[in-house]
Amino acid sequence: MALLKNFAEKAENYLAAAHSSPVFPTRDALATLQTLYEPLPDNPTSDEEILDLLSEKGSPGTVKSTGGRYFGFVNGASLPAAMLAKLMATVWDQNAGLYLMSPVAAMLEEISSAWLIDLLGFPKQTAVGFVTGATMANFTALAAARHRLLEKMGWNVEAKGLFQAPEITVICGEEVHVSILKALNLIGFGRERIIRVPVDDQGRIIAGKIPDTDGPTIICLQAGNVNSGAFDPIGEICRHKKDQVWVHVDGAFGLWAGASPRTRDLVQGIELADSWATDAHKWLNVPYDTGLVFVKDAAALFSAVASSAAYLPEMNKRDPFQFVPEMSREARGIPVWAALKSLGRKGLSELIDAGCAHARRFADGLRTAGHQVLNEVVLNQVLVSFGDGATTLEVIRKIQEEGICWCGGTVWQGQTAMRISISSWATTTKDVDLSLASILRAAEQVRTASKNKRP
């Protein structure tokens, strides 16, 4: 089909250029995007023209996070196999809700689930759901926790709701990710009744400061702080937990530390928790959007999210919709399967090791140039300060403007900082060196400019 050949050629050209193009769209590219605004056309547009419009006007307006020099937020790229699998799934246009609507989607989910449980060392009976991202994974796991803890108190929350239900104590660290707060408010726990536990200088929860509770309690822990990459002492906390306590771990990117022997110590004891959330679209380098929720107590997950109706036959097969809040949805297991199959255990551990090595290389280069690295670089995250807040923000602005790489800002324990997050399989040592040079150049320019300003 000429149209698909045309598409393939455009896709190849895009990917070939993505590694060397400005990481963020130029002003011209943004102006071109503006020309797409128009009233809904009365008449049809041809498929060729749609493809041309996307290619000519859309492509320059993308952020080149599929390349190797995007270090903003925690955004993975796409492994070629995962990207192709996703395209194939799109060609197939499968509804992954039910086995009956897509055996291939159901089976590849089932296969990937077993691989992931094995890889991450979780208990065999753990249920795995394929959701849009870690936010939904956190939400789903917490709904399962809510079910089980209240069920133990004789309360069926799915039937009766939360009004008049026994109280559940919710404990999080001061450095909890916002997505956990969102999930907690969506499931009716409210943000203000959460007990916030102090953290140390890396953002790790201080285990000794977790209050001893008697009733049903959820403790939300973190594997990989979004700024510092630090890990809560998950194993230590789980080993002392009581029966009425459910420990949930948000490991949006940090959970993958368990996939490499070099970083596995960071997640030591993590299998003792009750549920875990991670993203496949971050460090596993699966295209958007795919998150994964793992719940040890599979029955609790099903009670929280599963549903039945006369027209939905029970097949004694994996029906993907029973594991997640959605019903109809895309076949997220297909690119996950492809990513794991293409990497293998070895390739994945090398991907994780490379990200960590690149982070250390950034940190060493920054320190050597006299800049202050604010975190212990234990994983793929680096936090750097270039002086006072205004100076650091100005350096970030210059780096983004140059377009060699892209880094964003944050406030880390009261101090303005720049974040560097290495999450792309495509990043090479050369990318790190080019980016480091750009960062140091920006810092030097800002320093010179401020010196010249002084009388």
Ligand X SMILES: *Cc1c(COP(=O)(O)O)cnc(C)c1O
Q: For residues 284 and 299, what is the distance between their CA atoms, to the nearest angstrom?
A: 28
- The reply on whether position 418 binds ligand X by CB under 6 A is no
- The reply on whether position 232 binds ligand X by CB under 6 A is no
- In this chain, which stretch among 37-45, 50-58, 246-254, 403-411 interacts with ligand X, using CB under 6 A? 246-254
The footprint of ligand X on residues 187-226 (CB under 6 A) is 224, 226
Out of 25, 97, 133, 203, the only residue in the binding site for ligand X (CB under 6 A) is 133
Q: Is the backbone of residue 76 left (phi > 0), alpha (psi -120 to 50) or beta?
A: beta
| Pairing mode of beta strands 372-373, 291-295 | unpaired
CA 447 vs CA 25, 95, 396, 439, 453: distances in Å? 27, 55, 13, 12, 10
Beta carbon nearer to ligand X, 61 or 224 = 224
| Pairing mode of beta strands 245-250, 275-279 | parallel
Beta carbon nearer to ligand X, 106 or 145 = 145
Residue 327 C-beta: closest distance to ligand X, Å: 20
CA–CA–CA angle 73, 77, 79 (5° rounding):
155
CA 195 vs CA 14, 211, 212, 340, 412: distances in Å? 48, 9, 12, 38, 21
Out of 59, 94, 135, 260, the only residue in the binding site for ligand X (CB under 6 A) is 135
Question: Cβ-closest residue to ligand X?
Answer: 133
State the residue for tokens 């944050």.
410
| Pairing mode of beta strands 291-295, 127-131 | antiparallel
- In this chain, which stretch among 54-62, 116-124, 131-139, 324-332 interacts with ligand X, using CB under 6 A? 131-139
Tokens representing 210 are 């977790």
- The reply on whether position 359 binds ligand X by CB under 6 A is no
Residue 46 C-beta: closest distance to ligand X, Å: 36
Residue 266 C-beta: closest distance to ligand X, Å: 14
Residue 261 C-beta: closest distance to ligand X, Å: 23
- The reply on whether position 257 binds ligand X by CB under 6 A is no
Q: For residues 359 and 362, what is the distance between their CA atoms, to the nearest angstrom?
A: 5
- The reply on whether position 109 binds ligand X by CB under 6 A is no
Which of 62, 115, 100 has its CA nearest to residue 288? 62
- The reply on whether position 291 binds ligand X by CB under 6 A is yes
Residue 385 C-beta: closest distance to ligand X, Å: 21
| Pairing mode of beta strands 195-197, 169-173 | parallel
- The reply on whether position 231 binds ligand X by CB under 6 A is no
Binding mask 258-287 for ligand X (x = CB under 6 A): ---------------------x--------
Q: For residues 206 and 22, what is the distance between their CA atoms, to the nearest angstrom?
A: 42
Cis peptide before 250 (omega within 30 of 0): no
Using CB under 6 A as the binding criterion, the count of chain residues that bind ligand X stands at 13
- In this chain, which stretch among 4-12, 55-63, 188-196, 249-257 interacts with ligand X, using CB under 6 A? 249-257
- In this chain, which stretch among 17-25, 127-135, 150-158, 187-195 interacts with ligand X, using CB under 6 A? 127-135
- The reply on whether position 175 binds ligand X by CB under 6 A is no
- The reply on whether position 134 binds ligand X by CB under 6 A is yes
CA 288 vs CA 8, 38, 96, 137, 172: distances in Å? 19, 27, 16, 14, 28
Binding mask 55-94 for ligand X (x = CB under 6 A): -------------------x--------------------
Q: For residues 271 and 105, what is the distance between their CA atoms, to the nearest angstrom?
A: 27
Beta carbon nearer to ligand X, 106 or 252 = 252
Orientation angle between helical segments 333-368 and 103-120, nearest 10 degrees: 40
- The reply on whether position 140 binds ligand X by CB under 6 A is no
- The reply on whether position 173 binds ligand X by CB under 6 A is no
Sheet containing 291-295, strands listed edge to edge, beginning at the edge strand earlier in sequence: 127-131, 291-295, 275-279, 245-250, 217-222, 169-173, 195-197
- The reply on whether position 252 binds ligand X by CB under 6 A is yes
- In this chain, which stretch among 101-109, 130-138, 148-156, 409-417 interacts with ligand X, using CB under 6 A? 130-138
State the residue for tokens 């002084």.
454
- The reply on whether position 172 binds ligand X by CB under 6 A is no
Q: Which positions lie near ligand X, rule CB under 6 A?
A: 74, 133-135, 177, 179, 224, 226, 250, 252-253, 279, 291
